[in-house]
A and B are shown apart, each in its own frame.
Chain A
Amino acid sequence: MPHSVSPEESASPDADAIIGEPKPENIELHESAGTVVADSVGPIEPSQASDDQDMMMADAGAVEEKMPVKMEATAEVKLEDLFADMDSDEEFPSSTGQGVNISNSPEAPASPLHLGPTSSASDPQVMRSFYQRLFPWRYLFQWLNHSPTPSTDFGHREFAFTLPNDAYLRYQSFPTHDLLRKDVLRLMPSRFEIGPVYSTNPRDRKTLRKSAAFKPIAKELCFDIDLTDYDDIRTCCDKANICNKCWQFITMAIKVVDVALRDDFGFKHIMWVYSGRRGAHAWVCDKKARQMDDQKRRALAGYLEVIKGGAQGGKRVNIKRPLHPHVARSLDILKSHFQNDILHDQDPWETDEKFDRLLQLLPDKTLNEALRKKWNSAPGRASTAKWTDIDALAKSGMSKSLDAKALLDAKQDIVLEYTYPRLDIEVSKHLNHLLKSPFVVHPGTGRVCVPINTKHCEDFDPLSVPTVTDLLREIDEWTAPEDANGKIAQDWEKTSLKPYVEYFRSFVLGIMKDEKDVKVKREREEAGDAMEF
């Protein structure tokens, strides 16, 4: 494998000489290693799943793992050249991109990467530069490892890659972030996901005598909120599209779920991440949360779930009275959002068919008839006005049978139905669910999955999240400040990714500090015991 060449060796011809293989074969090996799938998951083209290719893959892995980490760091740029060279040979036989790269990078390692006008997020060249220069590998490692020295928390963690040919490669694991980074650069997945920590190394799972010895033991508690689940109530966009109006649903969801996790369950290390297109993920990283089994996850998810049932289920909020403290608090948070973001911005009951839905949710028949009459006579009446009409007509006492308490309850239910977070609960329930890693690039939008600072979650604008092409351009345009004192800036510090990476870093430091404290304490306690003995 060309990975194993020492840093002194420069471009590809030398690499070939060392391995002693003719060039075309070498390329082929690369190609096949990239498409072999480790397990029988994901669509596989039959011709590529043969055994000997598996062997090659295994060999390749072995070579990589033996290689010292330090070398990789110094050889960084030149390795890239090897790859770039190979890829451009194959994929761009006569394009300009090839020329630019080969002539540029070897002699000027830190020099900007010139991108052609056509480059986009799906361009392998762009993605490679992103993973190579911007992705915060070290913090990702510390985040999952919970300490600076490599441990099984990271080593037994499953990673899953979605390869460019849409094959899905599961059960990958890496002792350190350098090896993870290298494999990502080799395979160029369009995205990768993070799974649980297993009881043994996921790569060894088939060598175990008992399959029961391979089981997931820890993973962050995750939540997934997706705007498509709001399609029946959002009027501004649908499907994969979003705008700032409907993003408010996510803002509300973050506020409600975050406070519940912190105040009620006592979790401290909660990170919210923009999913790259139309939703957000939460990662609860407290040790206690990570070690929860499926039953506890299910319980917690159930605690947070208020909206149940499909579109056919009729009334979807069925909560008991008096309101549970969590629901009451959520309602308090959501009330103002309901007024502004729902009634005003979404205007959900503007037309005849739409206000039928509202009337269905109200309890009193006479009142409903009166409202219908009023609204039919004034087509296009705004939702805000309609909402106040309910109380106005109710107060007028035109319905004898009206139960004020039932009406209030129904109104609370409506507020909740239109604002309460709609969680994709399956993600939270299972220990072994995989979730997209933070900071990967969404292949459709090109946007980076950046963390959202919950203190300012209202200011978060998904549409201004930097795209990968923006970021690479920013590196190019960056000039060193006068007072740099020779301190070399990291590439991410030159871009608008900086605040996000810094936020991530401080988040990770917080976790590491907490876990370190616990360890020190335990050791002290044990020392005490030993003394007594």
Chain B
Amino acid sequence: MIRQDFSRIDAKRKHADHRKKQFATPQYAALQYDTRLNFYTIPPTADITLEQFEQWAIDRLRVLAELEACSFRNKTPQETAAYMKPLLDKYLPLSGTSSGSSKLQEERMKDHYSHFILRLAFASTEDLRRRFSRVESMLFRLRFMENDIKERQLFVEGLNLEWDIVGKEEKMRWSEELRAAAGGPLVLRNVEDESWFKVDWERVPELVEGRRVFVRGGKAYVPGREQISMVVAEFTKRLDKALEMTSRALPRLDEDDRLTPILAHLSNNFTTPDASYSSSATSLPGADISARNIDNLSSSFPLCMQNLHRSLRRDAHLKHYGRLQYTLFLKGIGLNLEECLVFWRTAFSKITDDTFNKEYRYNVRHAYGDVGGDSNRRGNGYSPFSCQKILTEHPPGPGESHGCPYRHFSIDNLTALLQAVGVKDHEVLRGVKEDKEKMKFHMACNRVFEYAHKQEIKKVKEDGTWGAAELETIVHPNEYFKRSYLLKNLGKKEAASEDEERADVKMED
């Protein structure tokens, strides 16, 4: 034990004597930006003005926010790149070395500084750190992709990552497997021509997950062109670590109060464009939301929920994620806990009260925040799932009915389901098929919505009662229901609101 302690202290002493450290003159690294990309390992040390400090940070933030929005809208990498190009050129230009631009060093400096300023702004909480590292990695990936090959190579070599290069002999031995694993659209003509790296498989989890590399004895054999995911993973890893360190240093930030307000302001403005759900925005005054009325209301449900409802009525049962997705949706439309329990109890008609109480009641109550840990109760349980969440998390497995039918059904089953719920128009079905092929599941859902409420939408547009804001793309099942319900009950709704208005007038008198 004693010996171990020795060696540890020794390792730390390498850097500096901690007592002298605070008096030591800071070591300025002469910053010469050789490559376009930056791993942001060395913090900047030169002076900049306060205006620059704020302006650069805001510019970068704008880019990051747009990038995050792209991912929420399920854009493909190509679309994202096309969408981001003008924005990047405007706010955060970064030219390649070969372009010979005179502003090369300036651009790179801005990129470097703004990154570190935002690091300070977003290191404070776990949530912010996670989001920041996610979007920064996306930005890095985007830029890495558009780099020319030579520069990319130079950059990667400069990183000094510990990768083994697979020797010729080993390449020959596994040639068959390497070829098969690399596969895909770009089948290699010649395994020997490609360069291969050998790394611990843990370093390339996404390649392993997609079975895009050959794995043997705990090592993944990565083809040269898959470099990017390794480089990005390394980038994320280092950034996460650095953010963690920054957050620990934050309380001891040696600072007069000029920077703190700017930093606080920056992190507050990093708003989530995710379609978040708020209970007040989706409540429907006057609607009869009760267990026995769900069957009627279900005609206004989006397809994912209609599917759950149909499965539930067919099997008198739903599996865990199905129950969760549906319970939260019902909670979102305003079904209270008691009614919700009644609903599930009657829906699960094949089981005894005892089984229901033992196995299901708790989960429903948990979703409503009636039981569970402190934070769950304070937060009133979970929020209803957004399309984003339904599309990306927990794809349905055998016997499960949750998820998004537009995404998780085969086209034949999807068509059959749509026809069963009354969408029979060939034009619409063809549109849905095309949307599905392009992975635009939102579009498909909104297309069906527009078809199902054709008349009503036309009417509100003509009346001018609904503006563009009320008719923008639906990205939340509860929004779908709310809009559908309002449209289907136009007459009644108006009558009710007129009554209200009259009452208001009277009160003012």
A residues engaging B (CB < 8 A)? 39-43, 166, 212, 229, 231-232, 263-267, 288, 292, 295-296, 298-303, 307-315, 319-328, 422, 424-425, 523, 526-527, 529-530, 533
Q: A40-B373, A166-B358, A303-B209 are in contact. Are A310 and B397 (CB under 8 A)?
A: yes
B residues engaging A (CB < 8 A)? 3-4, 6-7, 10, 126, 177, 179-181, 183-184, 187, 201-202, 205-206, 208-211, 214-219, 357-358, 361-362, 371-373, 395-401, 403, 405, 408-413, 417
Instruction: Point out the residue from A311, A321, A324 that lies within 8 Å of B399, measured CB to CB.
Output: A311
List residues of chain B with CB within 8 A of the CB of A296.
202, 205
**Cβ of A308 and Cβ of B410 under 8 Å apart?**
no
Task: Give complex CA distance A320, B184 in Å.
Answer: 6
B329 to chain A, nearest CB (A): 18
Q: A40-B372, A326-B211, A527-B3 are in contact. Are A309 and B181 (CB under 8 A)?
A: no
Q: Which of A299, A323, A327, A526 has the most CB of B within 10 A?
A: A299
**Cβ of A309 and Cβ of B218 under 8 Å apart?**
no
**Cβ of A312 and Cβ of B409 under 8 Å apart?**
yes
List residues of chain A with CB within 8 A of the CB of B7.
526, 529-530, 533
List residues of chain A with CB within 8 A of the CB of B187.
322
B361 to chain A, nearest CB (A): 7
Q: A264-B216, A266-B218 are in contact. Are A313 and B399 (CB under 8 A)?
A: no
**Cβ of B358 and Cβ of A523 under 8 Å apart?**
no
User: Can you list 29 A-B contacts (CB < 8 A)?
Assistant: A43-B362, A229-B397, A229-B398, A263-B216, A264-B215, A295-B205, A296-B202, A299-B201, A300-B209, A308-B397, A311-B398, A312-B405, A312-B410, A312-B417, A314-B411, A322-B187, A324-B180, A324-B181, A324-B183, A325-B181, A326-B211, A327-B211, A523-B4, A527-B3, A529-B7, A530-B7, A530-B10, A533-B6, A533-B10
Task: Give complex CA distance A527, B6 in Å.
Answer: 9
**Cβ of B409 and Cβ of A530 under 8 Å apart?**
no
List residues of chain B with CB within 8 A of the CB of A310.
396-401, 403, 408
B107 to chain A, nearest CB (A): 33
List residues of chain B with CB within 8 A of the CB of A264.
215-218
**Cβ of B413 and Cβ of A322 under 8 Å apart?**
no
Closest B residue to A324 by beta carbon equals: B211
**Cβ of B3 and Cβ of A312 under 8 Å apart?**
no
Closest A residue to B377 by beta carbon equals: A40
B381 to chain A, nearest CB (A): 13
6 additional contacts (CB under 8 A) given A263-B217, A303-B215: A43-B358, A265-B218, A296-B202, A300-B209, A324-B180, A533-B6
B234 to chain A, nearest CB (A): 14
Q: A43-B362, A299-B206 are in contact. Are A313 and B211 (CB under 8 A)?
A: no
Task: Give complex CA distance A529, B396 in Å.
Answer: 53
Task: Give complex CA distance A302, B4 in Å.
Answer: 40
Task: Give complex CA distance A300, B201 in Å.
Answer: 9
Closest B residue to A228 by beta carbon equals: B399
Task: Give complex CA distance A301, B371 in Å.
Answer: 32
List residues of chain A with CB within 8 A of the CB of B202.
292, 296
**Cβ of B205 and Cβ of A321 under 8 Å apart?**
no
Closest B residue to A314 by beta carbon equals: B410
List residues of chain A with CB within 8 A of the CB of B400.
310
**Cβ of A313 and Cβ of B205 under 8 Å apart?**
no
B315 to chain A, nearest CB (A): 11
List residues of chain A with CB within 8 A of the CB of B206.
299
Q: A309-B395, A309-B396, A314-B410 are in contact. Are A299 and B3 (CB under 8 A)?
A: no
List residues of chain B with CB within 8 A of the CB of A324.
180-181, 183, 211, 214
